Structure 1
């Protein structure tokens, strides 16, 4: 079993804790590190590492302070270059090459965004298998044997179109959202295309403040999958 705790999600910052009772990892570090420490009751010394998917500030804001606190931070070479950071605690990963952190085996895989971005397939020695994917409009890979999903569900195309028509969202911004984020419709297609037979939990992440509907998203995904769905 993997325990998932959302410390922050959305355009103002993203950070998630996963714990298999032997190893703790942070996925993203997009809020101030002192806020992460506070949310973890100042027990960050038990965190074995931090995975960073890409260079946008809402996913890496706290990286410098985390490094200075002697935490290992894992990112791609392109992401480190885009952030403009170097440190002896940075650990570079490569696309589709597995690596280990404690009891977790992590496989980064490329996803589609407006900068280089990676999702993570994370398998615990206890048999749990978690998929994490955010800030992408498309995931081209299929997965088997998943037990947990953490996946972006940023907007509904219907809500976004209504906001464009009403003038609440300018067309240029809508085009950027469509070209860089996962919609409810794409999430449902992705879930349909993958093996969910062992899935215990689905966590919908990074909902837009204005182009989403938390209750509707949860109901739609639950109805489509029959799984336990969380919207943090």
Structure 2
């Protein structure tokens, strides 16, 4: 069995747990050290249980506490060479992630996925264990053919629905930030998330976790309605991840 939990999702911090048997991975750590220790404890995980930390890119809501957590507990920290350039301290356990190479950590296979985002060598991930595929896909501004292909056959998909285009246009952000968020290297809108869902194998998909939603430029019900409309007549559950506590553990099985 493979299971997934979110420690929190949004512009103030992101972190996800992937677990299969005795292997537990932390994907991103956009919270301070004490905060992430507390969030891990709520999920019944101690830092010493972590087999590895994987960081998608250098933005603070994904990287913030990762180097400190890795150093304090001697946890291998996997990040691309581009991401590692932004470490604010030495990390002796850093492992250079090649975005074009697959890795095996204990019972979990890790497939990095290159994505268009305004970061240095960003990656997202698909995880495999016991025939189950879990896809994490946030922080990209456009859906490429490569992304469609890699995420086509997932059993669980954690998918960014960052903004509603009209709310972003009418919202409080300065024009330059609106252009960044809504651009090809920014973040996915509800409609772009639907575009991806329309390309996946829905017969395999059992769960969609809506993630990285903007507090200023989106509405939870708008995002849920868009995703559910793309999955009409499909046996797929939809869950909104929260900034405060993400979500509890979810078991993922093959359909």
Global fold match (TM > 0.5): yes
Q: Which residue of 1 aligns with 2:216?
A: 210
**What is the aligned residue count?**
227
Question: What is the rounded CA distance, in whole Å, between the counterparts of 1:172 and 1:201 in structure 2?
Answer: 35
Helix, strand or coil: the match of 1:175? helix
Find the partner of 1:103 among 94, 107, 114: 107
Q: TM-score, normalised by structure 1?
A: 0.92
Q: Which residue of 2 aligns with 1:145?
A: 153
* Counterpart mapping for 1:35-46 below 5 A: 35-41=35-41, 43-46=46-49
- Whether the 8 Å contact between 1:214 and 1:231 is mirrored in structure 2 is yes
- Whether the 8 Å contact between 1:188 and 1:221 is mirrored in structure 2 is yes
Find the partner of 2:57 among 50, 54, 59: 54
- Whether the 8 Å contact between 2:53 and 2:70 is mirrored in structure 1 is no
Helix, strand or coil: the match of 2:224? helix
- Whether the 8 Å contact between 1:80 and 1:86 is mirrored in structure 2 is no
In structure 2, the gaps of 5 or more residues are 242-255
More off after superposition, 135-144 vs 111-120: 135-144
Q: Which residue of 2 aligns with 1:177?
A: 181
- Whether the 8 Å contact between 2:143 and 2:192 is mirrored in structure 1 is no
Question: What is the rounded CA distance, in whole Å, between the counterparts of 1:156 and 1:112 in structure 2?
Answer: 19
Q: CA RMSD in A?
A: 1.5
Helix, strand or coil: the match of 1:65? helix
Helix, strand or coil: the match of 1:119? strand
Q: CA 1:57–1:229 in 2, change beyond 3 Å: closer, same or farther?
A: same
Cα deviation per residue 1:69-92 (whole Å; 9 max; x = unaligned)? 211111001110133544221111
Aligned-pair distance for 1:194? 2.0
Higher relative contact order (CA 8 A, sep 6+): 2
Off by >4 Å, runs of 4+ in structure 1: none
Find the partner of 1:78 among 73, 79, 82: 82
Helix, strand or coil: the match of 1:193? coil
- Whether the 8 Å contact between 2:6 and 2:17 is mirrored in structure 1 is yes
Helix, strand or coil: the match of 1:189? helix
Aligned-pair distance for 1:189? 0.5
Aligned-pair distance for 1:16? 1.1
